[in-house]
Structure 1
Amino acid sequence: MPNDHQRFFVLTGGPGSGKSTLIAALGDAGFAGSTEAGRAIIKDQVLIGGPALPWENPALFSEMMLSWEMRSYGIAARNEGNHFFDRGVPDIIGYMRLSGLEVPAHVQTAARRCLYNRKVFLLPPWPEIFAQDSERKQTLEEAKRTFDAVAQAYADCDYELIEVPRADIEERRRFVLETAGLA
């Protein structure tokens, strides 16, 4: 993987905290972004009656997410400019720990090879915007546990966690761009 990871920024946190909305707002400002692996995989697996669903086979779901995240990373590496990721490889470590799964060596290796900017943007649980849907079956309490698990995974991978304030989308976008040095 290339060494230009400083231009790769991760937005992470629990489900329903506004990550995808913020990625879209950053896209509207001209920045490239990636689609969240989990929701896309769930949608595809439901469509085809596949087994890689978090409530059926969390280990297989984890492997699918790893493949997705590594592919997204490779695509971003082939392009120029800054890129915002809706989650990253360390999220999978957090998810696996949360699911009570052992984190295999190859997942740890992927986290060491697919590096991102040291500043990782952490979106905290936000009860006022949290909503369940066909892909997001977690409760708010589960979303909070996910937030804690992914935050710990990024900290364990030596990233600097920067909490994004709960605010309107323009303020959140401005905060991320200023903190990333891209304003």
Structure 2
Amino acid sequence: MSQEMNFYCITGGPGVGKTSLLNQLGTIYPIIPEVARQIIREQMDNQGEALPWKNKAHYTELMLERSVKSYREVQLSNTKSPVFFDRSILDTLCYAEMIGYGISAEMDFCARTYRYNPKVFILPPWSAIYTTDEERKQTWEEAEQTYGLMKATYEKYDYQVIEVPKDTVENRKCFVLGELS
């Protein structure tokens, strides 16, 4: 098991401000984009089936594969700087549970093998900023449910889940940076 102390996860349900926060953190440190949105865009562009509203199992498998790949690429770079991941391998496990796919032995192995910093930053549901788009189709109720399941998934794998306050993007950035020390 490898634990990368400088690999930080930003997670939470859909539409909670993760991208805005990561864009701010990205002005200082490297950020690793969310693989789920990349997969959705690719599948939509190519009329593919690996989409959360078509073939959920294939979509889940691609998320795991890409999440591990991005982790390993950053690991091989040997960066000593903090790196912020927009979601992580554990988000794939949470999604698999949500759709009734379950956590496979391979998923569990990946979650236990590719470890991030023990501090994980989770953004809570925030109705004032929640919106849907072509890639984010979840209802508000699903967003709230996702938050609870994400938190439980990270805790199950022994991460310290730190809730980022509902505040301006700048204040959220300052909060996260303050927790790094």
Q: Same fold (TM over 0.5)?
A: yes
Do the aligned partners of 2:11 and 2:120 also contact (CA within 8 Å) in 1?
A: yes
Deviation of 1:114 (Å): 0.9
Which whole-Å CA distance do the structure 1 matches of 2:178 and 2:96 have between them?
32
Deviation of 1:63 (Å): 0.7
Deviation of 1:45 (Å): 0.4
2:53 maps to what in 1? 55
1:38 maps to what in 2? 36
1:91 maps to what in 2? 91
Which whole-Å CA distance do the structure 2 matches of 1:57 and 1:160 have between them?
32
Do the aligned partners of 2:125 and 2:144 also contact (CA within 8 Å) in 1?
A: yes
Q: State the TM-score, normalizing by the size of structure 1.
A: 0.95
Q: Which amino acid aligns with 2:49?
A: P
Aligned-pair RMSD on alpha carbons? 1.1
- 1:124 aligns to 2:124 (yes or no): yes
Deviations along 1:15-55, one digit per CA (max 9) or x if unpaired, are 00011111110011x20111111111111100000010011
Deviation of 1:4 (Å): 5.3
Which whole-Å CA distance do the structure 2 matches of 1:152 and 1:58 have between them?
21
Q: Which amino acid aligns with 2:72?
A: G
Identity in percent: 40
Do the aligned partners of 2:118 and 2:159 also contact (CA within 8 Å) in 1?
A: yes
1:163 maps to what in 2? 163
Q: State the TM-score, normalizing by the size of structure 2.
A: 0.96
- 1:67 aligns to 2:65 (yes or no): yes
2:17 maps to what in 1? 18
- Point out where structure 2 has 5 or more consecutive residues left out of the alignment: none
Do the aligned partners of 2:3 and 2:114 also contact (CA within 8 Å) in 1?
A: no
Which whole-Å CA distance do the structure 2 matches of 1:57 and 1:143 have between them?
20
1:114 maps to what in 2? 114
Give the count of matched residue pairs: 179
Deviation of 1:78 (Å): 2.1
Q: How does 1:3-14 map to 2 (within 5 A)?
A: 3=2, 5-14=4-13
Which whole-Å CA distance do the structure 2 matches of 1:157 and 1:57 have between them?
27
- Point out where structure 1 has 5 or more consecutive residues left out of the alignment: none
1:148 maps to what in 2? 148
SS at match of 2:8: strand
Which whole-Å CA distance do the structure 2 matches of 1:42 and 1:145 have between them?
21
Which whole-Å CA distance do the structure 1 matches of 2:3 and 2:152 have between them?
24
